[in-house]
Amino acid sequence: MDVVDPLAAIRERFAVDDGVTYLDGNSLGALPRGVPGRMAEVIEREWGALRIRSWEESGWWTAPERIGDRIATLIGAGPGQVVVGDSTSVNVFKAVVAAVRIARSRAPGTVPREEVLVDASTFPTDGYIAESAARMTGTRIRAVAPGAMAAEIGPRTAVALVNHVDYRSGRLHDLPGTTAAAHAAGALVVWDLCHSAGALPVGLDAHAADFAVGCTYKYLNGGPGAPAYLYVRRELQPLFDSPLPGWNSHADPFSMAASYAPADGAVRGRVGTPDILSMLALEAALEVWEGVSIEAVREKSLALTDFFLECVEHHVPPGAVESVTPAAHAERGSQVALRCRGAGEVMRELTARGVVGDYRRPDVLRFGFTPLYTSFADVERAARVLGQVLTTADGRL
Ligand SMILES: *Cc1c(COP(=O)(O)O)cnc(C)c1O
């Protein structure tokens, strides 16, 4: 399978040949080999020698939009709709508040748009931020199972906030259907792409998504704490009223004007001075996508997760683990989550034996598959070592 894998050669673009089977790229992507050299150049030449001139001459000032346009190609968005900066948490705040404001600016229905629906299994930060955003905008949050989201969106809904792929189970949620249902009801959807961007085609423009946010340190390999991004569909941009209108989003930032006038386009999602070092590390990391199609990545991702499930069945004692990741391809992201007794201890033992995934309380082993650098041999080894750990640990756990 590795011999016929069209993406096999891309692995050389990453620093991963250390004898460790790394299946945690859904938490922190591996280091692309081009990043250290580029960072040395940024620090020594752009910062060290050019200093303040680099804001213009090295393209620092426009980096958030430039890198946003690069990410846009991976999530099915045309140029001018994605801006990079801040964390996913902060971008969830901007998107939810702005989406509520847009929903409420529309002609009122027979009932007030007073609720924000939140994916009941969401990554916690999205729920915490949405709850605060709801209080600030005079709406209420209601948790809804993501599979029921399309049916639950109604005339009272201002906004639905949904994780495209569930961080724990790896379940892929229905972006086209949920978005269409929201639009039919006059509501908007904010998609969190943390576990889908870089792993599968998202099609934001094709499905007329409203807002999307995502991080860049998982499948986009931008490095620890790399800045996140915000997508605002072009038609909504004139209505986008950011709750964090910092000077970087001003129509003329260097006028240093006392009153705020928003810039047009994705720039409106900026807040303050961008974190240039992290942002340029991300830009260098995105070069690994040169010549790679996201469709090919998806195809390999499904083959990797299928093969892992097959190997687990072969190597792991019957009944020792149970997959909570959907078997259907249409509902699967790029990870496999296995429920297992003593999962925390099992993952410590796997890591000690050179197979790195992660553990989510109370009983989930998570294995992320990054098609750019995960090989089929990695997958077989991970399942085999898991089988060994569960065989020797049996009775002890
Ligand atoms: C990883 C992840 C986040 C992380 O948010 P940060 O602000 O970068 O810490 C948020 N949402 C989801 C769904 C995630 O998977």
Is the residue at 51 inside a domain?
Answer: no
26: left (phi over 0), alpha (psi -120 to 50) or beta: alpha
Q: Are residues 23 and 149 in the same domain?
A: no
Distances (CA, A) of 315 to 102, 121, 382: 53, 31, 10
Say whether 123 is catalytic.
yes
Is the residue at 338 inside a domain?
Answer: yes
Atom of ligand 1 nearest to the CA of 192: 13
Atom 11 in ligand 1: which residue has the minimum CA distance? 123
Is the residue at 42 inside a domain?
Answer: no
Distance in angstroms (rounded) separating the CA atoms of residues 348 and 365: 11
Predicted local confidence at residue 395, as pLDDT = 45
Is the residue at 377 inside a domain?
Answer: yes
Selected catalytic residue, list 126, 192, 210, 275:
192
Distance in angstroms (rounded) separating the CA atoms of residues 153 and 116: 9
Predicted local confidence at residue 337, as pLDDT = 98
Residue-wise burial string across 169-202, b where 16 or more C-beta atoms lie within 10 A, e elsewhere = bbbbbbbeebbebbeebbbbbbbbbbbbbbbbeb
Predicted local confidence at residue 394, as pLDDT = 55
Q: Are residues 299 and 236 in the same domain?
A: no
Predicted local confidence at residue 33, as pLDDT = 98
Is the residue at 283 inside a domain?
Answer: no
Distance in angstroms (rounded) separating the CA atoms of residues 167 and 3: 31
Is the residue at 225 inside a domain?
Answer: yes
- Compute the distance from residue 57 Cα to the ligand 1 centre, in Å: 33
Say whether 366 is catalytic.
yes
Lining ligand 1 with CB less than 6 A are 87-89, 123, 125-126, 163, 167, 192, 194-195, 215, 228
- Compute the distance from residue 248 Cα to the ligand 1 centre, in Å: 24
- Compute the distance from residue 326 Cα to the ligand 1 centre, in Å: 22
Q: Are residues 22 and 89 in the same domain?
A: no
Give me the domain span that covers residue 162: 62-273
Q: Are residues 171 and 247 in the same domain?
A: yes
Cα four-point dihedral sign 346, 214, 323, 7:
negative
- CATH code for the domain in which residue 145 is found: 3.40.640.10
- Domain boundary residue among 273, 307, 341? 273
Mutate to test the pocket of ligand 1, among 92, 194, 202, 282 (most ligand atoms within 8 A of CB): 194
Q: Are residues 175 and 258 in the same domain?
A: yes
Q: Are residues 158 and 245 in the same domain?
A: yes
What percent of the chain has pLDDT above 70? 99
Q: Are residues 268 and 298 in the same domain?
A: no
Is the residue at 278 inside a domain?
Answer: no
- CATH code for the domain in which residue 298 is found: 3.90.1150.10
- Domain boundary residue among 244, 273, 302? 273
Q: Are residues 117 and 158 in the same domain?
A: yes
Mutate to test the pocket of ligand 1, among 87, 125, 169 (most ligand atoms within 8 A of CB): 125
Domain count, the chain: 2
Is the residue at 39 inside a domain?
Answer: no
Predicted local confidence at residue 70, as pLDDT = 98
Q: Are residues 298 and 227 in the same domain?
A: no
pTM: 0.97
Residue 371 has a CB neighbour count (10 Å cut-off) of 27
Average pLDDT along the chain, 397 residues, taken 10 residues at a time: 98 94 98 98 98 98 98 98 98 98 90 96 97 97 97 97 97 98 97 98 98 98 98 98 98 97 97 98 98 98 98 96 97 98 96 96 97 98 97 60
Predicted local confidence at residue 396, as pLDDT = 47
Atom 14 in ligand 1: which residue has the minimum CA distance? 194
Of 383, 357, 369, the closest CA to residue 300 belongs to: 369
Q: Are residues 201 and 255 in the same domain?
A: yes
Q: Are residues 204 and 70 in the same domain?
A: yes
Q: Are residues 265 and 301 in the same domain?
A: no
Q: In this structure, what token pair is assigned to residue 158?
A: 């201002």
